[in-house]
Amino acid sequence: MTVRPFNLPLIAGFLLSGLAAPALANDKPLLQEGKQTLYQRVLTTPSCQLADSAGATAGKAQPAFTRFYVYQREQSGNAEWLKVGPDSYGKTVGWIKADCAVDWKMQMTLALTNPAGRDPLLFFKDKAKLEELFAKEDPTPLLKPIQNNMKDKGRDPAVVAREPDYAVDLAKNFYLLPVLDAEEVYTEKGFQVRLLNVASVSAEPSDKSKADASNATANEANTLKGFSAAVVFVIDSTISMGPYIDRTREAVKRIYGQIEQEKLLDQVKFGLVAYRSSTKAVPQLEYTSKMFADPSTVKDGKDFLAKVAELKQASASSSSFDEDTYAGVMQALDQVKWNEFGARYIVLVTDAGALDGDNKLSSTGLSAEQVRLEAKYRGVAIYSLHLKTPSGAKNHASAEAQYTDLSTNAFLNKPLYYPVDAGNVDSFGSMVDSLGDAITAQVKAAYRGDMAAGSALGADTKYAGDSATDKAIVEDAALLGHAMRLAYLGEKTGASAPPVFQAWISDRDFVQQNVPTTDVRVLMTKSQLSDLSDVVKQIADAANEGLISPNDMFERLRSVAATMGKDPNQLKDKTIKVADMGLMAEYLDGLPYLSDVLSLDEETWKGMEGLDQEKFIRRLNTKLKYYQRYNADADRWVSLAPGSDAREHVYPVPLEALP
């Protein structure tokens, strides 16, 4: 096992504090050591009390995970005290002891992934135990006794806490797992794993919520009786799609017949969104995307068929072979009330590629990556049934890449992408039948109270076809159904991150080291997000100029960097990377991911093919569109301190959404 010290601070550069200058210099919080714009911040523990003065004997108890800015440090007796405020705009509220809070240099949080398909994450007292486990080719003999102790006794000498059995929803039960230290480890199995020292500061539940959660856990089978599924077909309704539209209707009609017999009518609902392309370019297309059936309002099979009766293929051709696929998917994501359902599925049916976000005909301005992140946020799994018809042969490879990205599922760690060779209608129908049967079987299993992954396989699900694809669809649906039941139970029981304070975890499963246990969220304020958006736009604009003259891109970036105070002599080096040009000040220092933007230098840019340069610019432009969506999304902004200025509210931005 090879250990390499990790570059700290992990996300310090994202603490874009100080963008709005306070009126007086002494009204600013203290700066972090060695930083020019990043202020000192701490997170409170449950023992923190806010006092009127340093050294006070009593104060007001503070909620765990409150974020304070540090304005002054003072020694009183044997203790260090901190004068703190809820934001960076000069407002202070009192004093807390330094030893009841933890310095938070990295404004990011880790979100626990759905525990389906992996062992529950263990929070260890010491890093050494993690290193010992990853140093083994097979860690199971060391790991099993620890897991057994946690399961049977609820404790083990090496472990502080264990992840809940059910999935924890960050959006509904916000928690912080701030990273205090980190190290990269290369395991004996050949994987790169991060060992993370975290401070778990989840909110303490009320006695009532504890009792409700306990009752729900004790009555797991009863709780699962409320588990339901929504399946929304998102169908390309352009010319040539008529047979597939008809076959989808036939499949849903058949499935509704089954669920009515099984008395599961309230448990399984179907919806349908159809999409085409830009009506500005071709008015005869009638719509870009349209909701024909909302699963929340569909009563039964007859009602569904009545709502989609008018759906037919377009009478006019689109202006390009690619259609506005993401318009249809985003309408389904935005307009369906997904929180009414435990299992959430979108089934995309198309024979064409998707308009990328930078295409002038795109109505969303988004690409596959951003749409996938939106689906992940809502807990929706996207299936892509790609009809590889002969007429679209030249488009197949690019469309496959798009839909593989779009349908990559975090639960399964694989794409739910299923090609239909030659666009065969019978093969397509068999896939839709298999998928509908599998989802219905999972809901039936939940209604019976079954929690085991694959418990419905064989018992309830019949393969509609004999192909390997049909079997893969059914098996994937069984694993997904298990993950979604864990998420549902987590929501109903109010599952939360363990209320421990400091521990070491790994970002990968010990045995299945390709399976992540955490996702990174960078907590950014509106001004930080705006600032990042401005810089990315400048890079995109410079890159556009560079398409005309390869020298222009870095000349423009040098000019921008110089106006921001960067030494012009340092900028002359043609091997200097964007990350070193000072464009983003301290924003992106030490990010734990590989960025094609920040790692770019002039020589690499000039050596890129024109098509690769265009793809680079398209990625930047779609990220810019996504930042606009974040800014407008009022529901996901979070206050980390009572009474803080609204400008200090943060948005949990997924790491992969950054440039």
DSSP code of 38? P
Whether the pLDDT of residue 488 is over 90: the answer is no
Q: What is the mean pLDDT of the chain?
A: 82
C-beta separation of 10 from 590 below 8 A: yes
Lowest-confidence region among 193-207, 381-395, 519-533? 193-207
Q: Where are the beta strands (DSSP E) in 125-248?
A: 159-162, 179-186, 192-199, 229-236
C-beta separation of 373 from 382 below 8 A: no
Residue 96 structure tokens: 């807390």
Lookup result for tokens 């009126």: 23
Q: Helix (H, G, I), strand (E, B), or coil: what is residue 395? A: helix
Residue 460 structure tokens: 């309830």
Most confident of 8-12, 256-260, 327-331, 389-393: 327-331
C-beta separation of 14 from 524 below 8 A: yes
Host H or E run for residue 74: strand 67-76
Whether the pLDDT of residue 25 is over 80: the answer is no
pLDDT of 466 reads 63
Please state whether 107 falls in left (phi above 0), alpha (psi between -120 and 50) or beta.
beta
Q: Provide mean pLDDT across the span 592-609.
A: 77
Q: Provide mean pLDDT across the span 272-301.
A: 94
Distance (Å, whole) CA 67 – CA 62: 10
User: Angle at Cα 113 formed by Cα 111 and Cα 118, nearest 5°?
Assistant: 145
pLDDT of 209 reads 44
CATH topology of domain 222-431: Rossmann fold (3.40.50)
Whether the pLDDT of residue 478 is over 90: the answer is no
Residue positions counted in the chain:
659
pLDDT of 271 reads 93
pLDDT band, very low/low/confident/very high, at 450 (cuts 50, 70, 90): low
Distance (Å, whole) CA 181 – CA 179: 6
Most confident of 153-167, 214-228, 470-484, 503-517: 503-517
Lowest-confidence region among 363-372, 550-559, 641-650? 550-559
Q: Which amino acid is at 529?
A: L
Distance (Å, whole) CA 472 – CA 477: 8
Q: Which amino acid is at 603?
A: E
More confident site: 86 or 460: 86
Whether the pLDDT of residue 575 is over 80: the answer is no
First-last CA distance in the chain: 31
pLDDT of 211 reads 47
pLDDT of 220 reads 66
Non-local (6+) Cβ contacts of 152 within 8 A are: none
Residue 296 structure tokens: 């929340």
Tell me which residue of 106, 110, 125 sits closest to 42, measured CA to CA: 106
Residue 125 structure tokens: 């007292």
Distance (Å, whole) CA 364 – CA 518: 29
C-beta separation of 315 from 203 below 8 A: no
More confident site: 108 or 88: 88
Host H or E run for residue 112: strand 108-112
Q: How many CA atoms lie within 13 A of 503 on its CB side?
A: 23
Whether the pLDDT of residue 479 is over 90: the answer is no
Q: Provide mean pLDDT across the span 194-199.
A: 86
Distance (Å, whole) CA 328 – CA 348: 9
Sheet containing 159-162: order of strands: 2-5, 179-186, 192-199, 502-506, 122-124, 159-162
Q: Provide mean pLDDT across the span 298-326.
A: 93
Whether the pLDDT of residue 321 is over 70: the answer is yes
More confident site: 592 or 493: 493
Classify residue 32 as exposed, middle or buried by CB count within 10 Å of its CB (0-12, 13-18, 19+).
buried
pLDDT band, very low/low/confident/very high, at 104 (cuts 50, 70, 90): confident
Q: Provide mean pLDDT across the span 200-229.
A: 59
pLDDT of 6 reads 38
Lowest-confidence region among 133-147, 266-280, 498-512? 498-512
Lowest-confidence region among 175-189, 535-549, 559-573? 559-573
Q: Where are the beta strands (DSSP E) in 240-323?
A: 268-275, 289-293
Residue 196 structure tokens: 């993370």
pLDDT of 481 reads 81
Classify residue 648 as exposed, middle or buried by CB count within 10 Å of its CB (0-12, 13-18, 19+).
buried
More confident site: 446 or 332: 332
Distance (Å, whole) CA 624 – CA 605: 21
pLDDT of 140 reads 93
Whether the pLDDT of residue 325 is over 90: the answer is yes
Distance (Å, whole) CA 105 – CA 124: 22
Structural domain boundaries of the chain? 39-103, 114-205+496-516, 222-431, 523-657
pTM for the whole structure: 0.71
Most confident of 209-213, 462-466, 616-620: 616-620
Non-local (6+) Cβ contacts of 518 within 8 A are: 110, 111, 112, 113, 121, 177, 196, 505, 507
Q: Which amino acid is at 283?
A: P
Q: Where are the beta strands (DSSP E) in 192-342?
A: 192-199, 229-236, 268-275, 289-293
Residue 530 structure tokens: 């705006």
Classify residue 5 as exposed, middle or buried by CB count within 10 Å of its CB (0-12, 13-18, 19+).
exposed
Q: Provide mean pLDDT across the span 372-385.
A: 92
pLDDT of 11 reads 31
Burial 527-546 (b: 16+ CB within 10 A, else e): bbbebbbebbeebbbbbbeb
pLDDT of 513 reads 92
pLDDT band, very low/low/confident/very high, at 310 (cuts 50, 70, 90): very high
pLDDT of 17 reads 33
Residue 233 structure tokens: 């077909």
pLDDT of 611 reads 84
Lowest-confidence region among 227-236, 287-296, 449-458, 591-600? 449-458
pLDDT of 212 reads 46
pLDDT of 602 reads 82
Please give the distance of CA 66 from its chain centroid, rounded to a whole number: 23
Q: Which amino acid is at 98?
A: A
pLDDT band, very low/low/confident/very high, at 462 (cuts 50, 70, 90): low
Q: Which CATH architecture has domain 39-103?
A: Roll (2.30)
Distance (Å, whole) CA 220 – CA 227: 11
Lookup result for tokens 């599998």: 438
Q: Which amino acid is at 329?
A: V
Q: Provide mean pLDDT across the span 107-121.
A: 84
Distance (Å, whole) CA 493 – CA 621: 41
